Amino acid sequence: MPAVRRVRILALTIAFAFVTLYYLSQRGNVWNYGYTPYLPKTIFTDGKTHWLKLSDRYPVTSFIPLPTGTPHKIPTVQALAPAEKPKVRYERVRRRDAVKESFKHSWEGYKKNAWLRDEVTPLTGQYRDTFGGWAATLVDSLDTLWIMGLKEDFALAVQAIEEIDFTTTETKEVNVFETTIRYMGGFLAAYDISGGKFPVLLTKAVEVGELLMSCFDTPNRMPISRWDWKKYTEGYAQTAPARMLVSELGSFSLDFTHLSQVTGDPKYYDAIARIANVLNDGQNSTKLPGMWPVSIDAATPSFAEDNFFTLGGMSDSLYEYFPKHYLLLGGLLSQPKQLYESFIEVAKEFLFFRFYNPGNLPVQASGDIRVTDDGEKRLIPRGQHLTCFTGGMVGLASRIFDRPQDLQTAEELTQGCIWAYDAAPNQIAPELYTVIPCPKNSACGWEDSVWHDIIKTNYGGSGRTGQSVEKIIQERNLWKGIVGVDDRRYILRPETIESVFIMWRITGKQIYQDAAWRMFQAVEKVSRTEFAAAAIADITVTGDGKEDNEQPGAEPRKRYDDNTGRTGVRAQQMDSMESFWLAETLKYFYLCFEDFDVVSLDEWVLNTEAHPLRRPR
């Protein structure tokens, strides 16, 4: 009997050994990197076309290694937390809770009307799929839910993400930039902020990462920005585009680097390191050496053709990420610092400018530059909501790169964007507006005549009378300091409050908290709907709507979905609420009033969708 038992034990041991060896050979990813395989071998029976990972046509033979080792000592970013009297703390917490209530209102509208879809439509209470139909608002909101203490909703959302299938979409071309910052960044940040307690978040981040790695399979390993995933699955060869926005090329660094950090798989970092090297090699070959133009050739690659330069739309996050990438790598790679310091001096000389304003405030804006054929650098003195991240970027870099002389520039850029809110008819800045640049190195005192002269020049008739100027101002809905509004929308953007938050944490100055509260009240007043919050078609329209006096944080009254009978700016509400309202805008508002150490900038790096990634320790 004992002999039979020994034979059985031996047989079971041999069988277990074979099973273990097979498991190890088939599921190496699990054992090597600690996450579930990115794509289970599934036979789909839904009749849809599904993405299939193919062998690389242009494989990498040697990976650029992820910098490792003990992080360098980087100067502290945040100021000491300001001392608070009980009354001040009470008011701060009251404001924080008002922001939280606003978030909950929009989140509930999404839950009830658009669950697992990309966006809720705030006027009609329907849904819209804008980013692949992969539940963009849900994924984008994950870390905000955790930060605001909405743990039950966080758990519900985490459970729901298992239903998201990143192998198929009705979208013909995947927007690789948006998929990276919203989905991959959203999953990674939620994984980090929740302490790694929900492994499915990392699993989903890897699924997105593997999907997006397919767009790097080109002859020069530069990515495809608008990726035809079905053609890839059918086996077509791919080439990086000859026309690509520079932000689409340069905004992968944080999320891909962090995916390598948390999985141990070097290929994601390798992908973005190759891009960084291309940017480094081309930095001084452009028509404005030190900066890269909006339109670039990723196939060659080349940065020499386009002559338009900006820190605004289509370029912004490229520049934003240099100091942030340095932080995420613990200072172990000097390249991001070098790229930043080479471009910022050019931006200070040619793009940043002080502008006339009735209060004679020391404020700056970041304009655009067009380089002429003969090399002249022509400033377009345009303010963009999208460039308002710049103050926060310069402030952050002034700390970590020990550039104290730049802190004043950071404050003046941020104050310039705050002024654009405070001065506007509804205390909210429009998308694009034109101001009057001050002469360099000379006085810049406000005079109505200067403002009027520019308006007359812009809109005709140098011989017009003062009354005619007043008529132009009225017809074009301008206000003092503004000589043109090229895009009157407000689409719930976060860039100004992003810089306000960063400057609040860097300086501890109460003026930034106060500005944040003014901005929040103004936005809540015009955007809130029955279901969520709405973008505004023309934020410069004046006149009171029926419910314009509703208090932020109060229970919303019944809204009219079609704005029937409404007047004023609330009649300009659009049936659109992008996911960044919950991912970025309300998160930054909330953090302006939350305890100073929550999402500390000395512990976290926020990607361009405000997803916090943990810095190495």
Residue 44 has pLDDT above 90, yes or no: no
Question: What is the reported pLDDT for 340?
Answer: 99
Question: What is the reported pLDDT for 468?
Answer: 87
Name which of 336, 204, 203 is nearest 257 in CA terms: 336
Cα separation, 323 vs 331, in Å, equals 10
Say which amino acid occupies 361. L
- pTM value is 0.91
Question: What is the reported pLDDT for 442?
Answer: 84
Question: What is the reported pLDDT for 552?
Answer: 44
Q: What's the pLDDT band for 35 if we cut at 50, 70, 90? A: very low
Task: Give strand ranges (E) for 208-322.
Answer: 226-228, 244-245, 295-296, 308-309
Name which of 365, 364, 420 is nearest 387 in CA terms: 365
Local structure of 569: helix, strand or coil: helix
Is the peptide bond preceding residue 301 cis, with omega within 30 degrees of 0? yes
Residue-wise pLDDT tens digits, 199-229: 999 999 999 999 999 999 999 999 999 999 9
Q: How many CA atoms lie within 13 A of 289 on its CB side?
A: 4
Local structure of 554: helix, strand or coil: coil
Question: What is the reported pLDDT for 551?
Answer: 47
User: Which residue would you say has higher pLDDT here, 9 or 104?
Assistant: 104
Name which of 164, 239, 4, 112 is nearest 532 in CA terms: 112
Residue-wise pLDDT tens digits, 287-308: 999 999 999 999 999 999 999 9
Residue 583 has pLDDT above 60, yes or no: yes
Q: Can you give the three-state secondary structure of 82-136, one letter per residue?
A: CCCCHHHHHHHHHHHHHHHHHHHHHHHHHHHHHCCCCEECCCCCCEECCCCCCCH
**Sign of torsion over alpha carbons 471, 475, 480, 486:** negative
Question: What is the reported pLDDT for 463?
Answer: 52
Which tokens sit at 309? Answer: 């330069």
Which tokens sit at 563? Answer: 């704005």
Q: What's the pLDDT band for 36 if we cut at 50, 70, 90? A: very low
Cα separation, 148 vs 160, in Å, equals 19
Residue 550 has pLDDT above 90, yes or no: no
- Residues near 429 by beta carbon (within 8 Å), at least 6 away in sequence: 383, 385, 388, 417, 420, 421, 490, 496, 539
Point out the least confidently predicted range of 185-194, 467-476, 604-613: 467-476
**Sign of torsion over alpha carbons 455, 459, 460, 466:** negative
Per-chain mean pLDDT for the chain: 91
Beta carbons of 290 and 343 less than 8 angstroms apart: yes
Beta carbons of 577 and 127 less than 8 angstroms apart: no
Question: What is the reported pLDDT for 511?
Answer: 98
In the block, tokens 């600690």 appear at 34
In the block, tokens 């790598």 appear at 329
Q: What is the mean pLDDT of residues 540-558?
A: 53
Residue 351 has pLDDT above 60, yes or no: yes
Helical ranges in 401-441 per DSSP H: 407-423
Q: What is the mean pLDDT of residues 87-97?
A: 98
Question: What is the reported pLDDT for 10?
Answer: 53
Question: What is the reported pLDDT for 544?
Answer: 55
Residue 56 has pLDDT above 80, yes or no: yes
Beta carbons of 383 and 419 less than 8 angstroms apart: no
Q: What is the mean pLDDT of residues 142-158?
A: 98
Point out the least confidently predicted range of 358-367, 435-444, 482-491, 606-615: 435-444
Question: What is the reported pLDDT for 29?
Answer: 32
Residue-wise pLDDT tens digits, 430-459: 999 999 999 988 889 999 999 999 999 999
User: Which residue would you say has higher pLDDT here, 4 or 505?
Assistant: 505
Beta carbons of 218 and 287 less than 8 angstroms apart: no
Residue 271 has pLDDT above 90, yes or no: yes
Beta carbons of 430 and 488 less than 8 angstroms apart: yes
Q: What's the pLDDT band for 543 if we cut at 50, 70, 90? A: confident
Which tokens sit at 191? Answer: 């994984």
Helical ranges in 402-483 per DSSP H: 407-423, 448-459, 466-475
Residue 24 has pLDDT above 60, yes or no: no
Question: What is the reported pLDDT for 266?
Answer: 98
Distances 382 to 80, 310, 385, 391 between C-alpha atoms, Å: 35, 10, 10, 16
Residue 69 has pLDDT above 60, yes or no: yes
Q: What is the mean pLDDT of residues 496-500?
A: 98
Concatenated DSSP letters of 588-611: HHHHHHS-TTTT-TTTEEE-TT--
Cα separation, 497 vs 499, in Å, equals 5
